Amino acid sequence: MTHSSLNSVRNVLQVYCLPALSDNYIFVLVDWTARSVAVVDAGEPFPVLEFLRSHDLKLSMILNTHFDGDHVGANRDLLREFPGIPVCGSEIDRGKIPGQTVFLQEGDRVMVGSAVGEVLSVPGHRLGHLAYYFP
């Protein structure tokens, strides 16, 4: 598997970039101390599952930036492997993101292990487009 570590967010989160589909990337956020893992925009399940297995990790949360299939395509498969984990996305995208259980808006917070991220509304590509900022 090819993946690269992009950076550490205040030495808490390690961010990995996994190539997916023909021209996409899936981001994996790992708090190694807490062994907590979030995946951002998993368009296909196989790169995520391979990464998790190769590092003996379990998925804790799915974060979606918007509802396009190349960003949410793995949600159902990942939920089969890790039932009951939160699936986060925009309140505006309610009913469009497979398995969504958490409905976010500007200023909300999400936690991956001990790292706290801020939810930013960044409409443009899609009205409900979100970004997740971990300072």
Fold of 4-133: Metallo-beta-lactamase; Chain A (3.60.15)
- Kindly tell me if the per-residue pLDDT of 122 is higher than 90: yes
Residue 62 has what pLDDT? 99
The pTM for the full model equals: 0.91
103 Cβ neighbours under 8 A, 6+ residues apart? 89, 90, 91, 94
- Mean pLDDT computed over 79-97: 98
Higher pLDDT among residues 31 and 125, named by residue: 31
Question: Which stretch of DSSP H or E encloses residue 78?
Answer: helix 75-81
Instruction: Give residue 1's pLDDT band: very low, low, confident or very high (50, 70, 90).
Output: very low
- Mean pLDDT computed over 45-53: 98
Q: What is the mean pLDDT of the chain?
A: 93
CA distance 46 to 132: 23
Torsion sign across C-alpha atoms 105, 92, 47, 58: positive
